[in-house]
Homo-oligomer: A and B are copies of this chain.
Amino acid sequence: MSRKTKGINAERELVHKLWAFGWSACRIAGSGSSHYPSPDVIAGKDCRSLAIECKTTKKTKYLTKEEVNNLVSFAKIFGAEPWIGIRFREGWFFLKPKDLKDTGKGLAVSKELAKQKGLGLKKLLG
C-alpha cells in the first residue's frame, strides 16, 4: 500500500470514528496540495470544531514546521482547535502543536511522547 493510500485510509478511519462519537467530520480535498492552508480532517459538534492534521507511523513521525504553522493559522481563522492526530498500531493519539518535540529542523512525535502528552479520541471529544 502506498504512503498516500495509507494516509487516506487513516483519515477515513478517523472520520468514521468521529461520526460514531456523534460528531460530524469530513476529509478535506487536496489538503496537502492546495495553496491555502488546510487540515486533513475537520470535525465539529455544537460550538466546538477541530482542525486535524493526520499522520500514521509505527514509531516516530516527523513534521515540518511549515505544515504545523499552516494548521495553526487555518485553525485560528476558522475558529477551530488545531490538533495533530497520530495513528500508531495501538491506535490514535491527539497532540497540541505546542507538545510536539522541536528538533531544530522540524517537529517530531515519538510513541513515547504521544503516550505522555497525547489524548485518546474519547478524551479529546469529551
- Known contacts A36-B15, A44-B79, A77-B45; A26 and B27 CB within 8 A of each other: no
Kindly state the separation between the CA atoms of A46 and B19 in the bound complex, as whole angstroms: 24
Instruction: Out of B28, B36, B79, name the residue touching A47 (CB < 8 Å).
Output: B79
Number of copies: 2
Establish whether residues A26 and B34, one from each chain, have CB atoms under 8 Å apart when the complex forms.
yes
> For chain A residues 22-38, which have a beta carbon within 8 Å of chain B?
22-31, 34, 36-38
- Chain A: how many interface residues by the 8 Å CB criterion? 29
Establish whether residues A30 and B27, one from each chain, have CB atoms under 8 Å apart when the complex forms.
yes
Establish whether residues B28 and A79, one from each chain, have CB atoms under 8 Å apart when the complex forms.
no
A6 CB, min distance to chain B CBs, angstroms: 16
